[in-house]
């Protein structure tokens, strides 16, 4: 059976990917994939004599997605473009970020994900499936030594966890379009502010992340959503870093809300 995803602080990392920690990207080998141990049905250790499929897809990790923010622009290199190791296959931009997505191996682009050009936020919402950037083919079968800088999830779990903590990365089921931080505020006042913001600034289908330290925030928002026909996608609890001597609630609630209709 395929190995399950590894979850680190609400961020999921598939076991069938290899990770480039420096460039915050991943690759997944395709087609006749000797990287998969056919007998065990799971990823297995390989010796230097064995080879890997010459085709792979590339994407960016949720860590990079979080740091970049909601993507508003994206450009992909064209099909048949040769790509050198650690060179760009795509450029991305948001309100606060401009950067590149770099391939950890050389090859030639044989397919691109055109859906991303129309809707760059797919990368934020689905970094390991719908959010892939390009399919790349190498000239020959790939010896394990050629991707020695890439790591399996079991070999880099601690490194990914350290990156998540260092950059204070937050992963949710859907990447928010907006954020609202209401700390030290009564939930009734927060709901009034939320109603006003959603009515004036959000379109149907938009998503907002509400952060509250009110101890009843989760129950209050669930009741509010039912009354107003809105959708709570996810509620994620975390420790409140400013909770000292019981002066603040020990938990923060990250409440992910999708606007379904006008209130």
pLDDT in tens, 73-92: 999 999 999 999 999 999 99
**Rounded-to-integer distance, Cα 234 and Cα 257, Å:** 7
Looking at residue 141, what is its pLDDT?
59
With beta carbons less than 8 A apart as the criterion, state whether 165 and 159 touch: no
Is the pLDDT assigned to residue 244 strictly greater than 60?
no
Q: Specify the residue for token string 């069938």.
A: 16
Lowest mean pLDDT among 86-90, 111-115, 140-144, 158-162: 140-144
Q: What Rg do the C-alpha atoms of the chain give, in angstroms?
A: 21
Lowest mean pLDDT among 33-47, 63-77, 127-141: 33-47
Lowest mean pLDDT among 66-70, 149-153, 232-236: 149-153
Is the pLDDT assigned to residue 111 strictly greater than 90?
yes
With beta carbons less than 8 A apart as the criterion, state whether 213 and 240 touch: yes
Q: List the structure tokens of 124.
A: 């934020």
Strands (E), 5-160: 6-8, 11-13, 18-20, 25-29, 36-37, 42-43, 51-52, 55-60, 71-76, 82-83, 88-94, 98-102, 107-112, 134-137, 142-143
**Rounded-to-integer distance, Cα 63 and Cα 170, Å:** 8
Looking at residue 34, what is its pLDDT?
40
Residue range 170-187: mean pLDDT, rounded: 93
By the 10 Å C-beta count (0-12 exposed, 13-18 middle, 19+ buried), 63 is classed as buried
Looking at residue 140, what is its pLDDT?
64
Q: List the structure tokens of 96.
A: 């606060």
With beta carbons less than 8 A apart as the criterion, state whether 111 and 134 touch: yes
Is the pLDDT assigned to residue 113 strictly greater than 50?
yes
pTM for the model: 0.84
Where do the domains of the chain lie, and which CATH numbers do they carry?
6-167 (2.40.50.100), 178-258 (3.30.110.40)
């Amino acid at each position: 059976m395929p190995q399950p995803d590894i979850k680190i602080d609400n961020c999921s990392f598939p076991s069938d990917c290899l990770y480039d920690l420096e460039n915050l990207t991943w690759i997944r080998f395709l087609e006749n994939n000797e990287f998969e141990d056919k007998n065990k049905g799971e990823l297995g250790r390989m010796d230097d004599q064995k080879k890997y499929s010459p085709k792979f897809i590339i994407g960016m990790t949720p860590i990079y997605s979080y740091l970049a923010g909601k993507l508003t622009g994206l450009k992909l290199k064209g099909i048949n473009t040769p790509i050198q190791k650690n060179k760009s296959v795509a450029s991305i931009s948001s309100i606060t970020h401009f950067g590149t997505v770099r391939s950890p191996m050389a090859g030639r682009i044989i397919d691109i994900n055109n859906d991303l050009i129309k809707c760059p936020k797919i990368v934020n919402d689905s970094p390991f499936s719908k959010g892939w950037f390009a399919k790349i083919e190498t000239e020959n079968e790939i010896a394990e030594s050629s991707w020695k800088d890439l790591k399996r999830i079991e070999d880099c779990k601690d490194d990914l966890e350290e990156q998540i903590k260092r950059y204070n990365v937050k992963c949710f089921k859907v990447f928010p379009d907006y954020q609202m931080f209401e700390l030290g505020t009564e939930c009734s006042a927060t709901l009034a502010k939320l109603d006003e913001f959603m009515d004036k600034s959000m379109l149907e289908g938009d998503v907002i992340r509400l952060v509250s330290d009110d101890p009843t925030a989760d129950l209050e928002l669930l009741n509010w959503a039912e009354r107003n026909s809105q959708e709570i996608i996810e509620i994620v609890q975390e420790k409140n870093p400013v909770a000292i001597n019981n002066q603040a609630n020990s938990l923060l609630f990250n409440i992910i809300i999708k606007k379904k209709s006008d209130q």
